[in-house]
Structure 1
Amino acid sequence: MNPAVFYWRRALWWGLVYWAFYGAVEYALADAVSEWLRPEGTVPYPEYWLAGVEALLVWLVCGPLLSAAGAGIWFLAGQPRNAEEAEARMTRSAGLTVLLVFGYVLARRSQGLVPTVLALAVPAGLIAAGLVAGWSARWSRWTWFLMNPVTLTVAVLLRPWMYFYVLPKGNALVQISFSSLAFLAVLALSWLLFRGKPAGWGSRFAVTASVWIVAAAVVLGFGLRARVSLPGPPAEGAQAGRPNVILITLDTVRADHLHLYGYPRQTTPQLEEFARQATVYSGAISAADWTAPSHATMMTGLYALRHGVRYDYPDVRLGHIPQSAPTLAETLQHYGYRTAAIVANKAYLAPEIGFGRGFDLYRVPTTPVSLETSRMPSVLRSTRLHLMGISGADTPYVPGAKIADEVGKLLPKWKRGRPEFLFLNLMDAHWPYNPPPPFKNRFMTPTKDRTSAEFYEIVKLVDQEKRVVTPQEREELVAAYDSGIAYVDHELGRLFQMLRANGLFDNSLIIVSADHGEVFGERSLMEHGVSVYQDQVHVPLIVKYPGQKARQDVAVTVSLVDLFPTVLDVLGAPVPRRLAGITLRKADKLAARPVYAESYALWQKWGVEERFIDVERAVYLGGLKMVLTTKGRRELYDLAADPNETRDVQGSKPEQAAQLERLLRTWQQNYIKPGDQELGMGQEAVDRLKSLGYVQ
């Protein structure tokens, strides 16, 4: 055989050996083991996971070709003295191509000089060892324990994998220490197995192992993603006959932008149809002005002052739901319910904050790009995104259609004689206000498509009171926001249809609400998490009680803190005294009690403008609203006469102002948080905030 052909074939073989083993292990870690360790956060796009297999095949073809090309360059630099030295160069060339490609991906993901140096330390060290050893058969034998495909693969993948899945986030010393010990343990074990062995020893094992690893990873990964596991029939003695409970929250939807609530644009035809058999609460107030504290109130029946899921300046760690506060899901589990949640807001409804407590199934579907920014660097993942034509500009949360699709897979599992609790969160009214066609630009075509960077630059300057939102900008932003609401409404219609098709509509308690609103430049404020004004905390609330057939309208002020006791009341279960709200079915008590709202600014706002280092609170009673801040600002509004809060009426109503201020201060002093409050959101949660655009 021609020597050149022989060497070319051997170079391709060694490229296949290295890339097959590396690709198999990386695919298993990225697409199978990660799904097993983090089952709550998956990508509900089958084409994404199929593209992972395609990416593996791409590198099984391209990797050996790169390796052979590298070997050719090495041979041009100097002819090997013998066959063993030629074999050594081919093995080193294959290993070096793996290291160089992996190092390139790792360098692109690292931010800053120090993280980049630390990330590239192992690949760079192995590259240096490979270059030195490739020139000598003797050195090749001595370093085979380090440069064989098994050790090389485990060495470069171990540290990032441990960083993302095993070691605690935010503790650099622990991460470096344990990952270094693991790396040294790998080297020690490899030394015992491979020392003194000729270059090439173990290659057939590597290829065989690759086949089995890929097969197992495909079965495990696709099997985990296809599985919907819920508990079986209730245990003996569990109470049957109770209604299903379905809670749907619409992220960032303010009440006054719903046609159902009198908005001129037709944004909510499906909700209006739903309301024909439901109770519409026109005066519903969220307990907080952003996602985490508002949802924590719904899930605990407590205000943020008590449940502690908030940011307290100067601590940038987000509080967790305390163990002393049983969640709605845990309570319903106690009464024999199966519990499931499918939520779009992966940053602020993360299970580690406490929202996953009590759920048999808690899923946080995510987009491909958002997944990439929160998990270990991966050659295959990067290749997959290129194959799919996906860039970093995709919407940072899954659209409502994907949430509805996941529900469609879940509902058939419910027909087993046990009451169910389903919690859903849809996020399409949130920035970037980018619903799919035909809803995109439904109400207006903008003069330009703004990027997130451009939008958040506007937000920053408006928050700093350095500019205002122009009428054209506001008109375009509001039109895009309304388009998002219209799309959410469309998907709600699909969900209601699914419930009817599965016989789960008529006799279920179905609650549709929102966590907070959105502001577009009024009072030099943008987005949410910035105040307790109505554009932030006045939210829709539509409740279909079991068996309800006709619409009812309730105009009194109610709170989302009332949802927990309402659910228990409908179930016929006792309502604990620790809950801050009262059941919505006690109309005689609703009008006579005060309702509270709070604004603990997101920590990202603290560095933007000093005015956000403040806590705003509001109390509602008798049609009046008192706003009081920790910096001493005091305002009183008559919402019946002035729903947009444009006129402070303290001067004309001094007695009422004094009464409401005393009420609010007394409530604040008495309503302390529990002693076992736990803090600490961690680096992983911060990474999720970046992927969603909350942190720039």
Structure 2
Amino acid sequence: MRRQRLTVGLCCALYCLLAAVIYFGFFKSPRAEYTRDIKFKAKGNRLSVLLITVDALRMDHVSANGYDKKITPTIDGLVSAGVNFRRAITPIPKTTQSLASLLTGCYPHKTRVRNLWSVLPGNMITLTEVLKNSNYQTVAVVSSHNLIPDRNLSRGFDHYDFESDKRDAVETTKSVLLHLENINTQDPFFIWVHYIDPHVPYYPPEAMIQELDPDYQGRYEKKFGDNKLKIGGWAYPKDIGKEGAVFQNNLGEIVNAHIRKLYAAEIKYTDLAISELLAEMERRVGDKLITILTADHGESLGEHDYYYEHGDYVYNAQLRVPLVFRIPRRHELYSVGSVDDWVSLIDVLPTTLDLLGIKVSSGHLSQVDGVSLIPYWEGRRPAPRPLFSESDDTFYPEFIKRRVRHDISGRFRSVIFDGWKLIWTPFQQPGMLYELYDVESDPDETDNLYEVEKARAGVLEKYLQEWMTLQSQSVEDTRPTQKDLEILKSLGYIK
């Protein structure tokens, strides 16, 4: 009997051990390796940080930034209580690539995350790794098929809660609050939340689209896309496909105006979920939290005949993003206001560390391209600087206007400086090599002034040439592996 009990006991123990292995091995996100030898001059004020990124959120679709309907009351509240950078851009208008630049403070040629299949190399230090070395608790809750842990943006997170696009904004917030239960809010933490909802396909709650466009009856009345869970090229309605939705859109202005309302309704739904998140953070953390809200990129809604997509060009509809920092009233630099100077997502890392008072003494951040925006809190205005962006590669090269080569060297590049923007198309014939826009008076970039402003264009050309010479001269192997190709095909990016 004793031997039988012992056998049963051992079996139960082994079963529990096996269950634990399965649970922690398959259902818990693996802890990524990270750099552990970062040295500090100061570890700062120990405030916590909440970073919110919203996929494909245009700056001008935040009501506080001028959208004509009240769809973002929560984000508007952050704007009124923080510093709102109204002219922020992404260095590359694609999710993984852009967020790699945000987390490292570096342009894509340094992060080497320039494609959907790129992996962040180990020598690129992220904001998460700096905070982890400073004894922060670190959690990411990201809802996007692009943000799989394999891309290494997960490095430094204690928990990297990844889910595909099927997890909507409300469910994403619920996941964050579950993780918050296991965080000691008396100690500093860093939480990154990524919401997917404003990305195609558009499937907002029916009540919200009724509120925004009550009189519309016709195609795509309640949704744009045949299946809420489809992504890539399959995210668009089957009757027109991605080609007919994005590149050869003949739907007419009435239908397209309604689709833009569907996009706006998705933003409204996301804002509602963010409201719940911020309310719970306020209850649990109080006035010890720095909140940052931004987007990975914008979304073209028909500008330059390019609809409901991003990444193929470097026009501002795709580059401009909201960027808001709200810091606690107890912070010595507390202030509110709006900034109209041009800034970039590469500035988020150095700005966040300065707001936290964290000073890194080792050389781990020597590669950072961004600058701290702290002077704006101190009542100073930094000297203007050129800001650069590049396009992504395309899976539909036959539809991309002006572009000649479809490798990294052939990507569109842009520089913004002193209210002007120059776009370069490599390998193009001389008369089509550049576009120049006065983005102060022509924010939609409709009037190419290159031929009449050659002197001004020359200044921007020089900045662009200097930036290109800083990039690696080595030839990058950007070809996807067979596994990458299979993933891209399964996601609908290629056929």
Asked if TM exceeds 0.5, the reply is: yes
Paired position in structure 1 for 2:387:
595
Would you tell me which structure has more helix in proportion to its own residues?
1
Are the aligned partners of 1:278 and 1:551 in contact in 2 as well (CA < 8 Å)?
yes
Are the aligned partners of 1:320 and 1:679 in contact in 2 as well (CA < 8 Å)?
no
The alignment-based identity, stated in percent, is 27
1:684 Cα deviation after fit:
5.5
Sort the Cα spacing of 1:436 and 1:695 in 2 relative to 1 into closer, same or farther, 3 A: farther
Are the aligned partners of 1:340 and 1:362 in contact in 2 as well (CA < 8 Å)?
yes
Paired position in structure 2 for 1:656:
456
Sort the Cα spacing of 1:417 and 1:502 in 2 relative to 1 into closer, same or farther, 3 A: closer
Are the aligned partners of 1:271 and 1:489 in contact in 2 as well (CA < 8 Å)?
yes
- The residue matched to 2:78 in structure 1 has which SS? helix
> Aligned to 2:367, which of 575, 578, 590?
578
Sort the Cα spacing of 1:515 and 1:446 in 2 relative to 1 into closer, same or farther, 3 A: farther
Matched, 1:507 2:272: no
User: Which structure 2 residues correspond to residues 434-473 of structure 1 after superposition, within 5 A?
Assistant: 434-444=203-213, 445=216, 447-449=218-220, 450-451=225-226, 452-454=235-237, 457-461=240-244, 465=248, 467-473=249-255
Sort the Cα spacing of 1:215 and 1:671 in 2 relative to 1 into closer, same or farther, 3 A: closer
Sort the Cα spacing of 1:214 and 1:680 in 2 relative to 1 into closer, same or farther, 3 A: farther
User: Which structure 2 residues correspond to residues 250-399 of structure 1 after superposition, within 5 A?
Assistant: 250-311=54-115, 318-346=117-145, 348-366=146-164, 396-399=165-168
- The residue matched to 2:445 in structure 1 has which SS? coil
1:571 Cα deviation after fit:
2.3
Paired position in structure 2 for 1:186:
none
Are the aligned partners of 1:601 and 1:615 in contact in 2 as well (CA < 8 Å)?
yes
Are the aligned partners of 2:236 and 2:242 in contact in 1 as well (CA < 8 Å)?
no
- Aligned-residue Cα RMSD (Å) equals 3.3
Are the aligned partners of 1:285 and 1:557 in contact in 2 as well (CA < 8 Å)?
yes
Whole-angstrom CA distance in 1 between matches of 2:211 and 2:488: 29
1:349 Cα deviation after fit:
1.5
Residue type matched to 1:404 in 2?
T
Paired position in structure 2 for 1:554:
339
Are the aligned partners of 2:209 and 2:261 in contact in 1 as well (CA < 8 Å)?
no
Are the aligned partners of 1:318 and 1:680 in contact in 2 as well (CA < 8 Å)?
no
Residue type matched to 1:511 in 2?
I
Residue type matched to 2:397 in 1?
W
Are the aligned partners of 2:44 and 2:356 in contact in 1 as well (CA < 8 Å)?
no
Sort the Cα spacing of 1:493 and 1:636 in 2 relative to 1 into closer, same or farther, 3 A: same
1:580 Cα deviation after fit:
0.4
1:275 Cα deviation after fit:
1.9
Whole-angstrom CA distance in 2 between matches of 1:327 and 1:531: 27
- The residue matched to 1:324 in structure 2 has which SS? coil
Are the aligned partners of 2:45 and 2:357 in contact in 1 as well (CA < 8 Å)?
no
- The residue matched to 1:586 in structure 2 has which SS? helix
Whole-angstrom CA distance in 1 between matches of 2:30 and 2:182: 9
Sort the Cα spacing of 1:229 and 1:447 in 2 relative to 1 into closer, same or farther, 3 A: same
1:459 Cα deviation after fit:
3.3
Whole-angstrom CA distance in 2 between matches of 1:456 and 1:323: 44
Are the aligned partners of 1:281 and 1:541 in contact in 2 as well (CA < 8 Å)?
yes
Are the aligned partners of 2:57 and 2:267 in contact in 1 as well (CA < 8 Å)?
yes
User: Which structure 2 residues correspond to residues 16-95 of structure 1 after superposition, within 5 A?
Assistant: none
> Aligned to 2:472, which of 663, 672, 677?
672
- The runs of 5 or more residues in structure 2 that have no matched partner are 1-11, 33-39, 227-234
1:278 Cα deviation after fit:
0.8
Sort the Cα spacing of 1:322 and 1:417 in 2 relative to 1 into closer, same or farther, 3 A: same
> Aligned to 1:242, which of 46, 51, 63?
46
Whole-angstrom CA distance in 2 between matches of 1:434 and 1:691: 22
Whole-angstrom CA distance in 2 between matches of 1:353 and 1:224: 19
Moved more, 279-288 or 581-590: 581-590
Sort the Cα spacing of 1:469 and 1:529 in 2 relative to 1 into closer, same or farther, 3 A: farther
String of CA shifts for 1:334-363, please: whole Å, max 9, x gaps: 2221211110112x2222112111111111
Would you tell me which structure has more strand in proportion to its own residues?
2
Whole-angstrom CA distance in 2 between matches of 1:572 and 1:673: 36
String of CA shifts for 1:649-688, please: whole Å, max 9, x gaps: 224422111110111111111233899x886765555555
1:636 Cα deviation after fit:
1.0
- The runs of 5 or more residues in structure 1 that have no matched partner are 1-210, 232-236, 312-316, 367-395
Paired position in structure 2 for 1:10:
none
- The residue matched to 2:166 in structure 1 has which SS? coil
Sort the Cα spacing of 1:229 and 1:309 in 2 relative to 1 into closer, same or farther, 3 A: closer
- The residue matched to 2:391 in structure 1 has which SS? strand
User: Which structure 2 residues correspond to residues 423-438 of structure 1 after superposition, within 5 A?
Assistant: 423-438=192-207
Are the aligned partners of 1:434 and 1:440 in contact in 2 as well (CA < 8 Å)?
no
Are the aligned partners of 2:154 and 2:160 in contact in 1 as well (CA < 8 Å)?
yes
In the superposition, the TM-score normalised over structure 2's length comes to 0.80
Are the aligned partners of 1:399 and 1:435 in contact in 2 as well (CA < 8 Å)?
no
Are the aligned partners of 2:119 and 2:151 in contact in 1 as well (CA < 8 Å)?
yes
Are the aligned partners of 1:397 and 1:692 in contact in 2 as well (CA < 8 Å)?
no
Whole-angstrom CA distance in 2 between matches of 1:540 and 1:672: 30
1:592 Cα deviation after fit:
1.4
Residue type matched to 1:605 in 2?
Y
In the superposition, the TM-score normalised over structure 1's length comes to 0.58
Are the aligned partners of 2:61 and 2:264 in contact in 1 as well (CA < 8 Å)?
yes
Matched, 1:517 2:298: yes
Paired position in structure 2 for 1:635:
435
1:591 Cα deviation after fit:
4.5
> Aligned to 2:418, which of 596, 619, 622?
622
- The residue matched to 2:268 in structure 1 has which SS? helix
Residue type matched to 2:337 in 1?
Q
Paired position in structure 2 for 1:44:
none
String of CA shifts for 1:408-450, please: whole Å, max 9, x gaps: 1111322264321111100100001112353355422552334
1:637 Cα deviation after fit:
1.0
String of CA shifts for 1:230-286, please: whole Å, max 9, x gaps: 99xxxxx99574111221110011111221110112221111122221111101111
String of CA shifts for 1:148-183, please: whole Å, max 9, x gaps: xxxxxxxxxxxxxxxxxxxxxxxxxxxxxxxxxxxx
1:220 Cα deviation after fit:
6.8
Paired position in structure 1 for 2:272:
490
Paired position in structure 1 for 2:5:
none
- The residue matched to 1:414 in structure 2 has which SS? coil
Whole-angstrom CA distance in 1 between matches of 2:477 and 2:411: 20
Whole-angstrom CA distance in 1 between matches of 2:65 and 2:382: 20
Whole-angstrom CA distance in 2 between matches of 1:355 and 1:693: 23
1:498 Cα deviation after fit:
1.3
Residue type matched to 1:583 in 2?
S
> Aligned to 2:320, which of 498, 523, 538?
538
Moved more, 533-542 or 439-448: 439-448
String of CA shifts for 1:317-338, please: whole Å, max 9, x gaps: 7322122211111121122212
Are the aligned partners of 1:242 and 1:419 in contact in 2 as well (CA < 8 Å)?
yes
1:601 Cα deviation after fit:
2.4
